Amino acid sequence: MPKIFEYLGIIIRFYSDEHKPIHVHATYNENIVKVSFFLRDGKTYRVMYSVVFGKFPVAKMNELKEFISVYKDDIVKAWDAYFIWKTKVNFVRITKKL
């Protein structure tokens, strides 16, 4: 389960046996949200958020959405690198608010 980002305590990772659509799992404490990316012509045209476990705090959900809006292309590139090209994905920790 590679961690790809940490943003203000929110951990964003892939599970190793993932499937399409491209998605990540965002965890804050024990709360988990699945973030799915839908592409058309190589560009993200929609992002969908689904609570998987617990109740993601509203303030953290807003931070996650802000982070995703800025880093969605990097997440899609990391997905391709890990699942298609089978290369290592670097972990990035961001400790300041965007």
Q: Is the predicted pLDDT of residue 16 greater than 90, yes or no? A: no
pLDDT of residue 73: 94
Q: Higher-confidence residue: 10 or 17?
A: 10
What is the average per-residue pLDDT within 21-39?
95
Tens of pLDDT, residues 48-97: 999 999 999 999 999 999 999 999 999 999 999 998 899 999 999 999 99
* pLDDT at residue 42, rounded to an integer: 86
Predicted TM-score (pTM) of this structure:
0.92
Token representation of residue 86: 């089978």
How many angstroms separate the Cα of 17 from the Cα of each of 1, 24, 83, 91, 94? 9, 12, 9, 18, 26
Question: Domain range for residue 67?
Answer: 3-94
Contact 9, 28 (CB under 8 A): yes
Task: Please name which of 35, 34, 33, 44 lies closest in space to residue 73, comparing C-alpha atoms.
Answer: 44
Give the tens place of pLDDT for each residue, 40-62: 998 999 999 999 999 999 999 99
pLDDT of residue 52: 94
Number of domains in the chain: 1
CA nearest neighbour of 75 among 61, 64, 62, 59: 64
